[in-house]
Structure 1
Amino acid sequence: MTGFTQEQLGWEPWLAPLAEDELTDVHHEALIDKGRAASPYFRLLARDPEILHARTLTDNDIFYNADGGLPRAERELAATATSRHNGCVFCASVHARFASHYSKHPGDVQRLLDEGVAAPQAGRWRAVIDASVALAATPEQLGPEHVANLRANGLDELAILDTIHAAAFFNWANRLMLSLGEPTEKATK
């Protein structure tokens, strides 16, 4: 397995996921997006459809809710920084691609992947990365100075909350994914 990348990776579970033909209407409802049935990660989580449904609704609201707050690029940046800090190569690759796409700054995203969370970044991105990484390290490390820095870089209350939501969700999601399997060079079925 290579290091951090923006390339599309696969993921191999250590526990058996449901087979696609085993998925019931309840599982498909929990997946919300039928395309997720192709993913061994989501088919593994589908073993508990109620939790998967709640997890997916939370994920979708954090990243797709466009009613104010942080732009999508920076929500994805928070997830990328958190994943890079936690060592989750798979999640970092997914969210780095989105951060690059929405920000139109793939070089800045690649620098984060290549050099780590302390790599040089411009003011607003630096503030989002620093707050995300502090929260990922331990909640007590996210302090008033991080919030002040986010505000100083133009984030309002909703944008600050979106930063925290994206980082907190991916802090949890990384640990779940890292405890259930590992990334692979190519997508697996």
Structure 2
Amino acid sequence: MPDTIVVQNSENEPVVFTQAELGWLPWIEPLPEAELNERHWAGLVDRSRAKSDYFRLLVRDPEVLEARTKTDKDIFYNTADGLPRAERELAAAATSRYNGCIYCASVHARFATTYSKRGEDVQRLLDEGVGADIGARWNAVVRAAVALASTPIAFGPDNIEELRGVGLDDAEIVDVINSAAFFNWANRLMLSLGEPSTKKS
């Protein structure tokens, strides 16, 4: 474990949910890029992630990071079948909005806008919260994500029925569950290790 605990100045910490690109300030010193070895590079999976303080912090445990990254990529990038990418990102954004993770919400709200072209609806979710009315299908995805985020046993037959009622099949429902569950965990990790910043790092 690192010896250095980083104390950050929070004057640039954003206080509202946004689709703007944010920075992230770690509270524990990330590994310097120059110190990464082959085990670390394997853990990163994508070498470009070495530019991120967040991933250079997580790569202190490269095997766990490798599993985390491959899971992330499979849930959000493997879209040949199942739920469209926009709605996977919507589930992640809604979960992050509910959990109060401004950084994660900004990233996945931007992706939801990019893939859906429904930027006003995505912004309404950020501005009004998870109770915003953004259409029957998206409302169902948001409600399912929030049920999982609040406590997994809150997600149940009513959520499944609502998702099926707006046209999702079983594989798409699994994608909603995976997207929300992954970010319910990821939010807690990010919130415990640092803070968002209006200054991009």
Q: Would the TM-score normalized by the shorter structure come out above 0.5?
A: yes
Q: Distance in 1 between matches of 2:65 and 2:200?
A: 21
- Whether 1:66 aligns to 2:82 is no
Q: CA deviation at 1:112?
A: 0.3
Stretches of structure 2 lacking an aligned partner (at least 5 in a row) = 1-13
SS of equivalent to 2:55: helix
Pairwise mapping of residues 1-80 of structure 1 onto structure 2 (< 5 A)? 1-80=14-93
Which of structure 1's runs of 4+ aligned residues deviate more than 6 A? none
Q: Distance in 1 between matches of 2:189 and 2:176?
A: 20
* One-letter identity of the residue aligned with 1:13: P
Stretches of structure 1 lacking an aligned partner (at least 5 in a row) = none
Pairwise mapping of residues 158-169 of structure 1 onto structure 2 (< 5 A)? 158-169=171-182
Q: CA deviation at 1:149?
A: 0.3
Q: Distance in 1 between matches of 2:87 and 2:56?
A: 28
- With normalisation by structure 2, the TM-score equals 0.92
Q: Percent identity?
A: 63
Match of 2:106 in 1: 93
User: Larger radius of gyration, structure 1 or 2?
Assistant: 2
Q: Distance in 2 between matches of 1:2 and 1:9?
A: 12
CA deviations 1:112-156 (Å, max 9, x no partner) are 001100011101100000000010000011110000000001101
- With normalisation by structure 1, the TM-score equals 0.98
Q: Distance in 1 between matches of 2:119 and 2:39?
A: 38
Match of 1:177 in 2: 190
Aligned residues between the structures: 188
Match of 1:119 in 2: 132
